[in-house]
């Protein structure tokens, strides 16, 4: 019986770790998508408020108090937009790093897969040599028995 591949457990653990990194990358990508949608939503709200303020100004119903409240709201939205944009940028960098980590993990896992394949090939070759050796022994034993039998018949 051939020796088992000793790194099989390491390979399984690496596969599990790679899958975990893949799930982490998916989670980061989902959070990034949410952050980008939030940025777009905030920008749309700012645009909507600016249009509403412009309509009020054209209609002549814009008061200084309304303008002040509108500007404060716009400033708050702008701050939220900056924060969400920074969060989206941070998540984009984290996703890029996680994908690079995932790529390295796949490459490392492929090394172990190649080692396992090489091990299987060596085991098959060893088993084939063992089968050949046993067949040779059987043939030699058969030859000896025949020679022995021929020697007894000759006497």
Higher pLDDT, 8 or 57: 57
Answer whether residue 15 is part of any domain.
yes
Please tell me the predicted confidence (pLDDT) of residue 76. Answer: 97
Answer whether residue 132 is part of any domain.
yes
Q: Is the pLDDT of residue 57 over 80?
A: yes
- Say if CB 92 and CB 64 are below 8 A apart: no
pLDDT tens, residue by residue, 22-43: 999 999 999 999 999 999 999 9
Cα(51)–Cα(59) distance, integer angstroms: 12
Answer whether residue 52 is part of any domain.
yes
For the chain, the domain total comes to 1
Print the domain residue range for 111: 8-154
Answer whether residue 26 is part of any domain.
yes
pLDDT tens, residue by residue, 92-126: 999 999 999 999 999 999 998 898 899 899 999 99
Q: Is the pLDDT of residue 132 over 60?
A: yes
- Say if CB 49 and CB 80 are below 8 A apart: no
Instruction: Please report, for the chain, how many H helices and E strands are present, in that order.
Output: 2, 0
From 2, 11, 5, select the one nearest 113 (Cα to Cα). 11
Average pLDDT, the chain: 92
What angle (nearest 5°) sits at the alpha carbon of residue 16, between those of residues 15 and 19? 85
Answer whether residue 1 is part of any domain.
no
Answer whether residue 2 is part of any domain.
no
Check which CATH number belongs to the domain holding 49 and give it: 1.10.287
Answer whether residue 90 is part of any domain.
yes
């Amino acid at each position: 019986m051939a020796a088992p591949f000793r790194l099989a457990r390491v390979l399984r653990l690496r596969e599990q770790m790679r899958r975990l990194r893949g799930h982490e990358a998916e989670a980061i990508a989902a959070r990034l998508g949410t952050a980008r949608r939030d940025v777009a939503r905030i920008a749309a709200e700012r645009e909507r408020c600016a249009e509403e303020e412009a309509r009020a100004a054209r209609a002549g119903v814009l008061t200084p108090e309304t303008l002040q409240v509108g500007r404060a709201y716009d400033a708050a939205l702008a701050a939220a937009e900056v924060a969400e944009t920074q969060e989206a940028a941070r998540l984009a960098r984290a996703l890029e790093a996680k994908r690079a980590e995932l790529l390295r993990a796949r490459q490392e896992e492929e090394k172990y897969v190649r080692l396992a394949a090489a091990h299987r090939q060596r085991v098959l070759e060893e088993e084939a040599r063992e089968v050949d050796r046993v067949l040779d022994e059987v043939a030699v034993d058969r030859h000896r028995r025949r020679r022995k039998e021929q020697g007894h018949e000759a006497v």
